[in-house]
Chains A and B, each alone.
Chain A
Amino acid sequence: MGKFILKRLLQMIPVAMLVAFFSFAIIEIAPGDVLMHYIRPNMTNEEIEELREELGLNDGIVEKFVGWGKNVLQGNLGYSLINHRSVAAQIQERIPATVGLMGASLVLSIVVSIPLGLLSGVYKNRWVDQLISAISYVGISVPSFWLGIVLIIVFSLKLGLLPSMGMRTVGVDSAWDVIVHGILPAIVLSAGNTAVFTRYIRASTISELEEEYVDTAKSKGASSRRILCGHVIKNCLLPIITLVGMNLSHLVVGSFIVESVFSWPGMGTLGMSAINARDYPVIMGFTMMSCIILMLGNFIADILYGFCDPRIQQGGDRQ
């Protein structure tokens, strides 16, 4: 198991380096740079060139990338070229909001999808299955910004049950207030994953119910409930761990849109404003943070899978 963990950790390093390099290259290719933020109408060309030099924008991509990389290795993510604040401090301010939202939506996806998927699989092709499948297809197909707006209109505007935007009421500092504000964004962010998980668990349940051990259990007189709860669920849920790891990327990408629709002050809105301003230290900071969240998620999923299914560990050891 130790070797397996070490191997997976080492694999993360080149992945992170590649992500960093390609992100840097994309920023470099994109038209425009942060200089536009500083230019005033009466500036001369010489003053602008000085400013460009001062901001380090004349350096080549490799030079910039190496300089940034050296700082990162020393634990310094740099400073925003727009507000001159530490990138690490800005991420630190925003990450609890994003991780909280992602965590809540992930839990919601798992809690909702397991019973729905099992129910759908057990009652294959019956009306319950068809209803759940239809809802799942809608969940997969509906764009999150649309769902967000519809939920805001229904639950906030028409029913007045929940706030339409923000993370907390100005001047109110309570956990309950944050939870209330987080309900709609968490539902929207979880919708896609819930639908995917439900479909996956359904397929897995159907497949498991056709296995010979189920027939054996039936022939021994075990009740359907006992077969389902005692045997089938264990085998059905195992792939969910991998699925959660793989779908973390949806959460990261989805948070950009959901945070924007709900004015949730997380990494997504920080990233969007940094991209608009071409503030490359901040863009790199949040890109790498997103990359780390993804890699760690997948890593934890692999470890958990190893614990739950010893064959994975053995495979790792043999290699």
Chain B
Amino acid sequence: MKKLLACVLAASMLLLAACSETTPNNSSNPSDGSSSQNSATEEKMEGGTFIFPIPADINNLNPVITESKSVEMVMRALYDPLFIIDTDETRYYMAESYTVSDDGLTITVKLKDNMFWHDGVPITADDLVFDFECLWSEKLTSSTGINGQQILCEKVDDLTVKLTLPEVSASYLSTLGNFKMFPKHRYDNGEPFRTTLENEKGVGSGPYKLVNWTKGSSVELERFDEYYRGTPNFDKVIFQVIPEASTQEVAFQNGEVSLFEISDSLKYEKYSADENCNVYSFPDNRVSYFTFNANSDKMQDVLLRQAFTYALDRTALYDAAAGDENLAKENPSIYGPQTEGFDPNFTGYEYNPEKAKELFAQLGADQQTYRLICDRSHLYLEDIAIAIQSQLAQYGIKVEVTPLDSQGFNNTFFYTTEGDWDLAVNVYPVKNDPNSIAFMYKKGGFLTKNLFASDEALALFNEGDTTLDPEKRLEVYARLQDQILADYCVYPVLTSNACYVTQSNLRGIDAIKKIPAFEDYLKIYMVK
């Protein structure tokens, strides 16, 4: 529907553009640092309103129990993390510092002084201790436990807490840094955590505070003057619900929103050439992949899975789905380009049509029809699925593509073990830490019921997470990648970029050059 709307819009725009004035070209490209904007002569504008279009309304303003890309943008404005561990630096937000004991089992976090919640109450170590206890009791264990065991969180003084890990986890520090605190004095109210009205008030620690949330329409925030890191630039930040991508684009052209996201190369070229806009592109570290159902009777033979990997031309799949380096990059690795230890020279599976033909013939694969499912609501997945169908048809392999909506796909792909599908195309997020993809492969885990993950791979994940030496750790994850490919578990295809078109006077979207692009709202401002 969205694609259709986009086509209709493009056709309509062409017709209308034919009778309208042309726009001058602009060669600026802030994403590669070749911007023609001269920051020395630009005058920073005080105040203003930053309007961000989001495709759907948010469900609540609790930073822990809600997850989605658009929600993340809202939460970043309302709540600060403790710190962000990047590949080359650590950026501190609410935490002043952290220390890790030699055995890796104790982490001491010191919070910054003079921090306040949006209602004016000081932020202290009591809040963090309460948050950990509250989440553990609610079985929200991603930050508060390791392998089902609780992390003890104790107050040392008003601004310091000590975390005692039940076992060594090298990746936990990154998880802890991303943790967004919520106020004890608000949530310690006896009401159920998931349904308390506090979840609609969004009292946080971030640079902007909630003014008004018109359900289904907009979330309006204003500058929080007591913010501990300085004064945010915009007076207001508004998240406007605009479900249709084409309407977002028109709203942008009309000046009703400050930016919008694009996902096709024609638009990338069009807006890159427009001097009234800037286009930013960052890797969003999501790996789109092709995989096999471990519960399908047809897919049990490892030689058949190997034949599929020989048969597929990754470059052709990438070209069919994205084909533009600004939008996505071909990726043979199970990790993303921003993951620590990512090897840009890794080649992945060999493309060998002769061997594929040989194996398919030997196994009689052309006598079967394979059912391939994909999540059509994610970018590129349906295109990859159709390209796979087309490539395999050249070997006489029949593939029936079934695109599903997110809920239907997730249920079929992750939850059921009925084996009524054989092949799938999906996407997973990767963070800086390579262990962030462990959930995908952990054998017996909920999300991996249907994947061919071996015991050897699981053992390497465990080894990687318990190895504290950074170099040795990366070696383990390199071996792990080889193992996963040797299991014929997944066939990575590409990693997508997030591309934003902004009004030409907006600056700072590329300040961090990472996704989420809005990690630090202090860096975003307008020029006159």
Contact = CB atoms under 8 A, between A and B. Distances in A.
B407 A272 contact: no
B266 interface: no
A44 B57 CA distance: 29
A277 B243 contact: no
A14 interface: no
A149 B12 contact: yes
A276 B140 contact: no
Interface stretch (A130-138, A163-171, A211-219, A233-241): A163-171
Interface stretch (A35-43, A189-197, A247-255, A309-317): A35-43
B137 interface: no
Contacts of B215: 90, 93-94, 265
A263 B243 contact: yes
Given A44-B148, A149-B250, A153-B13, A31 B57 contact: no
A83 interface: yes
A150 B254 contact: no
Contacts of B199: 83-84
Contacts of A40: 140-142
A200 interface: no
Contacts of A261: 5, 244, 246-247
A277 B407 contact: yes
Interface string B116-154: 000000000000000000000001111001001000000
A263 B251 CA distance: 11
Interface residues of B, number: 57
Interface in A27-62: 30-33, 35-36, 39-45, 47-48
B64 to A, nearest CB: 10
Most buried by B among A31, A93, A163: A31
Given A93-B215, A149-B250, A166-B218, A42 B141 contact: yes
A158 interface: yes
Contacts of A36: 406-407, 410-411, 414-415
Interface in A1-34: 30-33
Given A94-B216, A149-B9, A276-B405, A157 B253 contact: yes
Contacts of A32: 405-412
Which size class do A's interface residues fall under? 35 or more
B5 A149 contact: yes
Contact of B408 (A31, A79, A160): A31
A83 B305 CA distance: 42
Given A40-B142, A47-B139, A171 B220 contact: yes
A261 B202 CA distance: 29
Interface string B381-411: 0000000000000000000000011111111
Nearest to B20: A158
B217 A84 contact: no
Contact of A45 (B194, B254, B446): B446
A199 interface: no
A40 B195 CA distance: 18
Nearest to A266: B216
B265 interface: no
B346 interface: no
B446 A44 contact: yes
Majority SS of interface residues in chain B? mixed
Contacts of A45: 446
Contacts, number: 148
Contacts of A71: none
A43 B447 CA distance: 9
Given A31-B407, A41-B439, A276-B407, A156 B254 contact: yes
A164 B256 CA distance: 8
A170 B238 contact: yes
Given A43-B446, A47-B139, A278-B407, A262 B247 contact: yes
A151 B139 CA distance: 50
Contact of A165 (B8, B141, B256, B406): B256
Most buried by A among B16, B195, B415: B415
A170 B415 CA distance: 41
Nearest to A146: B8
A278 B217 CA distance: 21
A167 B216 CA distance: 10
Interface in B205-251: 214-218, 220, 238, 240-244, 246-247, 250-251
A45 B448 CA distance: 11
B60 interface: yes
Given A145-B5, A149-B5, A261-B244, A30 B408 contact: yes
Contacts of A150: 12
B407 A164 contact: no
Interface string A153-183: 1101110100111111011000000000000
B56 interface: yes
Contacts of A79: 195
Nearest to A278: B407
Contacts of B59: 82-83
14 contacts: A32-B406, A32-B410, A36-B410, A36-B414, A41-B445, A42-B142, A42-B145, A44-B445, A150-B12, A165-B251, A170-B220, A171-B220, A265-B216, A278-B407
Interface of A: 30-33, 35-36, 39-45, 47-48, 79, 82-84, 90, 93-94, 145-146, 149-150, 152-154, 156-158, 160, 163-168, 170-171, 260-263, 265-266, 269-270, 272-273, 276-278
* Minimum-distance CB pairs A-B, first 4: A32-B407, A41-B439, A265-B216, A31-B408
